[in-house]
Structure 1
Amino acid sequence: MLLDGDEWRATLRSFQSEAWRLETLPQYLVPQESAELEAFRAGKRIDPATYSSPYTEDLKRLRGGGKRKGRVHLVTRPLSEYLQFEFSRYYTPHTLAGEDIRILDVTERDNPLPDVRDFWMFDRSKVVLMHYENDGTQISRELHEGEPADFVEYQRIAVAESVPFLEYVKG
């Protein structure tokens, strides 16, 4: 079953304890980010220590309610322009607001998840497969109809093999 619009928003909001994502692409083409990406290209930066958005406020609210969000992004160096933008504009303030963001750099090592694509997992029981074009344009989101056990294992491997985002960027 494909998830769009209200169904997707409800899925993002209805988890009980954990929402977790695996990201594998060097670029995501998101129309809503185009102005911010252009500002980044022009040299404009945010102050992550004072930055606030609906997403960072939601992260703080979730953490206060005992829920958590996390992700691991698989990367290779040199980082794409998009990843540099994403790290600066989103990952730093989101980490400071409480999201557990980790980086799995496979530049000089074997990828422990060679055939795994992007997905979201909610409460280790509901998996949504994220489908993209090669350029990072999202095609669809699909509710995985099978057992989540493989995805729980992918999460375990990704977390064990990655480093916290802030540690990675201090590097």
Structure 2
Amino acid sequence: MYLDGEEWQAYFRDFRRSAFRLEMHQTYTMPAETPTVRAFLAGEPKPRQFNSPWHRTIQDHAAAGRTMTRAKIVVRPLTPYNRYLFDWCIPGNVAAGEDYRIVDLTDRPDPGLPRQDFWLFDEETVVHLNYRDDGTQINRELIRNPDIPSYLAWRDLALENAVAFRAYRT
């Protein structure tokens, strides 16, 4: 089952305990981000209130005791898109209460993570984020009857091999 619009947004509004994201790609080509990525690459200042609706979502969940965690896989040198994330996006997410971690595979082998981006909600619901090689999202797919122990193991493996964003040095 593919998710879009309100049906997709409901997962971020309605999770009860936790939301975890594994980010595998080095570049994401999201149409909604095109203007801000272009502005960042042109050296323009970050707009005031950048990403504030998302930050309010994170803050609301944190205030209610729900956790939002990500593990971002990187390989140096950082792509222009990852530089955009590191400078404009991730710091605001962290300040809002998201636990954002970095798994740097530049000088070490992959510890056994899947090649699949996914969200894991409440340790029971899995949504795959499917992308083309250029980072363009194809769809968001709700996985029916997921092998939850595998997703929990991949989450734990990513987090065991990660450092907090604030501690990461490029």
In structure 1, runs of 5+ residues without a counterpart are: none
Cα distance between partner residues in 1 of 2:100 and 2:162: 10
> After alignment, is 31-40 or 114-123 more displaced?
114-123
Partner of 1:129: 128
Q: Which runs of 5+ in 2 are unaligned?
A: none
> In structure 1, what is the equivalent of residue 8 of structure 2?
8
CA RMSD of aligned residues (A): 1.7
Q: Which amino acid aligns with 2:34?
A: S
> Contact 2:40 / 2:46 at 8 angstroms: preserved in 1?
no
CA drift of 1:114 comes to 4.4
What secondary structure does 1:89 align onto?
helix
- Residue in 2 that maps onto 1:116: 115
- 1:122 & 1:46 partners in 2: Cα distance? 31
Q: TM-score, normalised by structure 2?
A: 0.93
Equivalent residues, number: 169
Which secondary structure does the structure 1 equivalent of 2:120 belong to?
strand
Q: CA deviation at 1:113?
A: 2.8
Identity of aligned residues (%): 36
Counterpart of 2:24, as a letter, is T
Q: How far is 1:88 from its partner?
A: 1.0
SS in 1 for 2:168: helix
In 2, Cα distance between equivalents of 1:81 and 1:52? 19
Matched with 1:31 is 31
- 1:73 and 2:48 are equivalent in the alignment: no
In the other structure, the counterpart of 1:62 is 61
Partners of 2:72 and 2:85 lie apart in 1 by 11
Instruction: Give, in angstroms, the shift of residue 41 of structure 1.
Output: 1.2
